[in-house]
Amino acid sequence: MTDITHNDFNKNFLWGVATAAAQIEGAHNVDGRGISIWDSFAKRQGKIQNGHTPYHACCFYYRYKDDLLLAKALGFTVFRFSISWSRIFPEGKGKANKEGVAFYHRLIDECLKLELIPFVTLYHWDLPYALEKEGGWTSVFFIQWFKHYVNFCAKEYGDKVKHWIVLNEPMGFTSLGYMLGKHAPGKTGLTNFLPAVYNATLAQAEGGNIIRSLIQKAYIGTSFSCSEIIPHTPNQKDIDAANRIDVLLNRLFIEPALGLGLPEDDFPLMEKIHFHSKSWRNKTKFQFDFDFIGIQNYFPLTIRHNSLIPYVSASEVKAKARKVPHTAMGWEINPDSFYNVIKRFSAYDPAKDILITENGACFKDILSHGVVEDAARISYYQQYLTAMHLAIKEGIPVKGYFAWTLLDNFEWAEGYNARFGLIHVDFVTQLRTIKKSGYWWRDFLTHKI
């Protein structure tokens, strides 16, 4: 097999690097910003590894010009970032904070100056804490707050920004934040999860509608966490367990967005979701004609039947236990499953463009004498790009790919221990060092390989 090269892709293909506000910006209490659920969650003991906080992160708020230059130097032509809702609306609603608004103007202007397409995510997990105190994603008022925020962003930035992602991985923040309590705001149980799922599904469609109505020539999508779900054995019980997890992880948010309604599969959790609100029956309420579907894929999951787990009777058999290649987070490295995910999501009707809005890997990088030798990450990207290319050759309309991520950053509950960046960050000095994988991307994108 010959190595994948840039020439294998269409010249209009979008090559981006993705980031998120809470993971890089820092400056959490500066220039009028209100605190977010992650700032307050970090105060709760034992929630984030080593007691890390997102308060300073990569100081991107101050260093954005240099960091954009780095993205540009690596050859990327698209920069994905998210807007911190509480920087714009410190109270989540009401009056906008001028200085916060101005920051994103500066950031967008700098992207445009460098000829980096600004690709904006409206919500990447950092809800204003003020709104959380009123119920956050579970509140009956949530959609009202969200619409107000999206309206404002679309009007304010719509002349300059044409590429929009409404939500980042709704399954991620509703399950980890409102069911399992592992992420902010740390809520648990179905009484929180069900309304959060409902509001997130509605927010996808409402966000899309607002951007469409306010911004001419907008290219609009929303992103989903997608994983191939593989039954541990051919045993029917494992197959059924895998199917239940598939409904939740892969289908719960995309199908309503496409106008297909909630997945109809019959198991206890789906029944609860169906019964939660009569409005689910009105399929058009949750539908929006997105221009693209954002796929975020990192790993497949191997699932077995496990009657001890409530509602789904299923659990994961970890990559480590199965002795298959995995990253430092224990996530299986499996480019074939990436290919399968792309094929599967592109098969939905109505067909949409596909964008890989995140893909990348975390390894135990060591900075030694100014160098980070991360051959494993280079190999990961080569394998995953090759798999994506195979899907494109078969006619799948994948229009872009975003590497996760530019800088080592605040990796949510893992704190600063999990490094995904193409650029190493020393979190004491804020020194940036381009990793070998960063140089690999530069060579790839500037056609040297």
User: Whole-angstrom Cα distance, residue 311 to residue 314?
Assistant: 9
Q: Which residues contact 315 (CB under 8 A, 6 or more apart)?
A: 303, 304, 306, 308, 309
Residues in contact with ligand BGC, shown as a per-residue x/- string from 358 to 397 under the rule CB under 6 A: x---------------------------------------
Residue type, 359: N
Q: Which is nearer to ligand BGC, 225 or 340 (CB)?
A: 225
User: Whole-angstrom Cα distance, residue 336 to residue 340?
Assistant: 6
Q: Answer for the pair 21, 82: CB distance below 8 angstroms, yes or no.
A: yes
Residues 3 to 22 in contact with ligand BGC, rule: CB under 6 A: 20
Choosing from 25, 132, 169, 228, which is the catalytic residue? Answer: 169
Choosing from 25, 228, 332, 358, which is the catalytic residue? Answer: 358
Count residues near ligand BGC (CB under 6 A): 11
Q: Which is nearer to ligand BGC, 199 or 225 (CB)?
A: 225
User: Whole-angstrom Cα distance, residue 40 to residue 35?
Assistant: 7
3-state secondary structure of 162: coil
Least distance between ligand BGC and beta carbon 359 (Å)? 9
Q: Which stretch binds ligand BGC (CB under 6 A): 61-69, 167-175, 277-285, 432-440?
A: 167-175
Task: Check whether the bond before 19 is cis (ω within 30° of 0).
Answer: no
Residues 197 to 236 in contact with ligand BGC, rule: CB under 6 A: 225
Q: Which is nearer to ligand BGC, 23 or 36 (CB)?
A: 23
Residues 280 to 319 in contact with ligand BGC, rule: CB under 6 A: 296
Q: Which is nearer to ligand BGC, 25 or 238 (CB)?
A: 25
Least distance between ligand BGC and beta carbon 347 (Å)? 23
3-state secondary structure of 16: strand
Q: Answer yes or no whether residue 411 interacts with ligand BGC by CB under 6 A.
A: yes
User: Whole-angstrom Cα distance, residue 295 to residue 343?
Assistant: 11
Helix, strand, coil share of the chain (percent; to 5): 45, 15, 40
Residue type, 276: H
Handedness of CA 22, 201, 265, 192 (dihedral sign): positive
- Token readout for 257 is 């967005």
Q: Answer yes or no whether residue 421 interacts with ligand BGC by CB under 6 A.
A: no
| 169 a catalytic residue | yes
Q: Which stretch binds ligand BGC (CB under 6 A): 3-11, 59-67, 165-173, 285-293?
A: 165-173
| 264 a catalytic residue | no
Q: Answer yes or no whether residue 404 interacts with ligand BGC by CB under 6 A.
A: yes
Strand partners, 341: none
Least distance between ligand BGC and beta carbon 63 (Å)? 19
User: Whole-angstrom Cα distance, residue 288 to residue 39?
Assistant: 32
Q: Answer yes or no whether residue 170 interacts with ligand BGC by CB under 6 A.
A: no
Q: Which is nearer to ligand BGC, 239 or 328 (CB)?
A: 328
User: Whole-angstrom Cα distance, residue 403 to residue 51?
Assistant: 28
Binding site for ligand BGC (CB under 6 A): 20, 23, 168-169, 172, 225, 296, 358, 404, 411, 420
Instruction: Supply the residues annotated as catalytic.
Output: 169, 358
